[in-house]
Amino acid sequence: MKKLCIMVCFAACILSPANAQQIFEKDKINTSAGELEITFIGHGTLMLSFGGKIIHIDPWRNLADYKTLPKADIIILTHHHPDHFDSKAIELIRKEKSVLILTKRCEEKISGGLIMKNGDIQKVGGITIEAIPAYNLEKAYHPKGEGNGYVLTFGDKRIYIAGDTENTPEMKALKNIDYAFLPMNLPYTMTPEMVVDAAMAFKPKVLYPYHFGETDTSVLVNLLKGKPNIEVRIRKMK
């Protein structure tokens, strides 16, 4: 019995989120400039691989053992809240030549980054990065001007990673978005109805709800059922 208990505990350890990088879900997207691979770490955290470059977005040690993940060519931070800004995780994946994209509030806590304000556009390693305002419309959790979402262009594909935000006018005015990551964790970001409102406005080809906490993703799926040209993909992004 003792031996069985040890084996079960060992199995639980190696399959825990911080030790199980091999079981992270991945999607591969064909672009005109090569294959883009998206690794779904969880919550608001992603890792992208494109053209031999590794891009980490909002790395967070609660979700993965960053000592075992590939070092970053680009690190992108949406805002300064601790589940999006983890200085220790950044330290583990940052190389001498890593480019750190961040907001002004993040820059108060870490040095050597490239600050992007709402509306800024930069080209890094051949990837165009556009900073889109991310904020709550009425709540005080995410004031306007502090956070960014980002549109990343990989060849002919445009990926929108919204950060912590609601269905803002800036989001709804986006054009030609192929893949969109929209947050749905209540009460801090959007309800499923807000996500639908935004998606119907800018019409991404593929919608990934992410950072959704305890929100029931089936509500979003049902609300968008029968809506033309928007594919909803549910991944392990609680």
What is the structure's pLDDT at 71? 98
**Beta pairing class for 45-50 and 53-57:** antiparallel
Among 85, 86, 84, smallest CA distance to 181 is for: 84
The pLDDT tens digits for 133-175 are 999 999 999 999 999 999 999 999 999 999 999 999 999 999 9
What is the structure's pLDDT at 213? 95
% of the chain beyond a pLDDT of 70: 91
**HEC secondary structure over 98-131:** EEEEECHHHHCCCCCCEECCCCCEEEECCEEEEE
> Average pLDDT for residues 185-205, to the nearest whole number?
97
All residues at 6 or more sequence positions from 168 whose CB lies less than 8 Å from its CB, including other chains: 133, 134, 135, 137
Q: Give the chain's domains with CATH numbers.
A: 2-232 (3.60.15.10)
What is the structure's pLDDT at 23? 86
All residues at 6 or more sequence positions from 127 whose CB lies less than 8 Å from its CB, including other chains: 50, 53, 55, 74, 152, 153, 154
All residues at 6 or more sequence positions from 132 whose CB lies less than 8 Å from its CB, including other chains: 118, 148, 149, 150, 151, 160, 162, 170, 171, 174
pLDDT bin (cut points 50, 70, 90) of residue 229 is confident
Which two three-digit tokens encode residue 125? 């390693």
All residues at 6 or more sequence positions from 59 whose CB lies less than 8 Å from its CB, including other chains: 41, 45, 47, 66, 72, 75, 86, 89, 90, 93
The pLDDT tens digits for 13-52 are 333 444 444 589 999 999 999 999 999 999 999 999 999 9
Which two three-digit tokens encode residue 88? 């220790």
Among 213, 141, 136, 164, smallest CA distance to 57 is for: 164
pTM for the full predicted model: 0.90
Q: Residue 230: is its pLDDT beyond 90? A: yes
Q: What single-letter amino acid sits at 80?
A: H
Q: Which residue has the tokens 């992004």?
A: 237
pLDDT bin (cut points 50, 70, 90) of residue 228 is confident
The pLDDT tens digits for 103-128 are 999 999 999 999 999 999 999 999 99
Q: What's the whole-number average pLDDT of the chain?
A: 91
Preceding peptide of 187 cis, ω within 30°: yes
DSSP character for 137? S
